[in-house]
Amino acid sequence: MTLHDYQLSQLDILESESVHIIREVAAELERPALLFSGGKDSIVMLRLAEKAFWPAPIPFPVMHVDTGHNFPEVLEFRDRRVAELGVSLVVASVQEAIDRGLVAEEPNGSRNRIQTPVLLDAAEKNRFTALFGGARRDEEKARAKERVFSFRDDFGQWDPKNQRPELWNLYNGRIHLGESIRVFPLSNWTELDVWQYIAREQIEVPSIYHAHEREVFERDGMLFAANEFCRPRDNEATFIEKVRYRTVGDATLTAAVKSDADTIEKIIEEVAATRLTERGATRGDDRVSEAAMEDRKKEGYF
């Protein structure tokens, strides 16, 4: 084969760009960490970080903002994967923050919004200057606005009208004391790219991503699992449905979708045919208002 014949696939190009970004952050910023929830995007991020530094270990910790309302399958996967890789895990606990008075429970029982002060507190305590996130531009319009290197002020806040230009693969990681950068190496990936990469790399994912039977109830046109954190109201009947999750989040706000996709190959077929993003289909927190995600990001959300 000649050099002229050598061509990279779409996944090779995305992988190469993401690895470059991860290495750039490790070189430019003093104390990075990777946000790891056990969801598909952060799982791919972890694989990319492995590749970026192989055969050396991943040179930074991972951090999970634990709302206390997580799916048990995901927590089991998180702990097992972190132990396999031998990376340090920092858990920022919303329950612990409630107990010490940093945040207060919201009347609706959701802990989604109060994650943000917990995240910012943990980042400050650990003096993290950069946080890798698994956000992609195809997920939601506020995420489509954000740069790969997203500057945050000394309050951890994002100003969408004051973003740094990014020319080709040139990133500006300059910060002053107290400021930080959020970094999104998967910005140019789609949900389909993520699943095709998981298939190509044969990466394990939590079982809730595969179709299975659950006791669910319908609320606002979405199917929520009945569990200790999310209970049906008097007018909401439960029933058994074969479902899977397209995204992993707080169990009080994350809905499932009807599905027969019990293998990665079937999930890829399903994602390729859908016309609704995973957040639009399954996240109750994004339906609060048109600008719900952008408002949370301005406050310091992921």
Sequential DSSP letters for 246-285: SS---TTTBPBEE----SHHHHHHHHHH--S-HHHHHBGG
Phi, psi of 31 (to 5 degrees): -135, 80
Tokens 């920092």 -> residue: 90
Per-residue model confidence (pLDDT) at position 285: 61
Could you report the average pLDDT of every consecutive run of 10 residues in the chain (302 residues)? 78 97 96 96 97 96 95 95 95 95 85 90 95 91 89 90 89 92 96 97 96 94 90 93 92 91 96 83 61 75 72
Per-residue model confidence (pLDDT) at position 277: 80
Q: Is 101 left (phi over 0), alpha (psi -120 to 50) or beta?
A: left
- Number of other residues whose CB lies within 10 A of the CB of residue 4: 6
Per-residue model confidence (pLDDT) at position 57: 95
Residue 60: DSSP 8-state: S
Supply 290's token pair.
């048109």
> Which domains, and CATH codes, for the chain?
10-193+290-299 (3.40.50.620), 203-273 (no CATH)
Does the bond joining 61 to the residue before it have cis omega, within 30 degrees of 0? no
**What is the reported pTM?**
0.90
Single-letter code of the amino acid located at 54: W
Distance CA 128, CA 126 (A): 5
Single-letter code of the amino acid located at 144: A
Per-residue model confidence (pLDDT) at position 64: 97
- Number of other residues whose CB lies within 10 A of the CB of residue 191: 22
CA distance to 20, 44, 246, 301, per residue, from 14 (Å): 10, 12, 21, 25
Per-residue model confidence (pLDDT) at position 63: 97
Sheet holding 239-244, edge to edge: 222-225, 212-219, 239-244, 257-258
